[in-house]
Amino acid sequence: MPTGSAQSCDAESPPAPAASPRLLRAIDPRLLSECLKACTACEQSCSTYADLCLGETQVSHLMRGVRELLGCAEISALTAELLAQIERCDVRALSDQLALCAGTCDTSEVDCLDQASTRQARINAFDARRRCGEYCRDLLRQLEAAAREASRPRREGPGRREMPAFAREATAGAVA
């Protein structure tokens, strides 16, 4: 289920407006790293569970669940790919992909099999989807806040420094 967002980072496509260095500095590198790991783990866990489901003798009643698992795996893999190239990505495309990934992980409540041999794979896929959705939402919130901050005009000039965000918020409340 490609979303079309991948071409926003593709070297062969026309250059998209990339994330600014100022925006990238505002993103917590640990959160970015954890989100990337969670998306990769989600892709692997969902693919593994889908493979186990397809290994059953009667798979016709499992196909809807398998499609959901494979869709979640593909979206998570694409999100991880975009996160790995964040400095070249269009911020809007990345935001859309993070929202799509979080939403897919949240709605992908798939239980193909309830057998002892596949129980751990089912638990792993469920946990990986939950973590991936949480990290994508957290990174999306941080990315949106950083984009708002980066779009504010800088007040730097000779002898002037930009006012820290907490100070701007405090003075904005006092002026209002």
For 63-105, how does the pLDDT look when each residue is reduced to its tens digit (9 = 90+)? 888 888 999 999 999 999 999 998 888 888 899 999 999 999 9
Residue 90, phi then psi, degrees to nearest 5: -70, 130
Is residue 166 domain-resident? no
Is residue 161 domain-resident? no
| Structure confidence at residue 31 as a pLDDT band (50, 70, 90) | very high
Highest mean pLDDT among 9-23, 37-51, 58-72, 107-121: 37-51
Lowest-pLDDT range of 20-24, 49-53, 87-91, 158-162: 158-162
Is residue 7 domain-resident? no
Is residue 164 domain-resident? no
Alpha-carbon gap, residue 152 to 132, rounded angstroms: 30
Give the mean model confidence (pLDDT) for residues 128-145. 94
Choose between 87 and 158: higher pLDDT: 87
Per the structure, the complete domain to which residue 111 belongs is given by 17-150
Is residue 51 domain-resident? yes
**pLDDT for 156 beyond 70:** no
Is residue 29 domain-resident? yes
Q: Report pLDDT digits (tens) over 97-135.
A: 999 999 999 876 666 655 666 788 888 999 999 999 999
Is residue 25 domain-resident? yes
Q: What is the pLDDT of residue 172?
A: 58
Residue environment code for 126-138, b if the CB has 16+ CB neighbours within 10 A, otherwise e? bebbebbbbbbbb
**What is the tally of structural domains in the chain?**
1
Is residue 87 domain-resident? yes
Token reading at 43: 């892709």
Q: Is the pTM of this model over 0.75?
A: no
Q: What is the CATH number of the domain that holds 95?
A: 1.20.1270.360
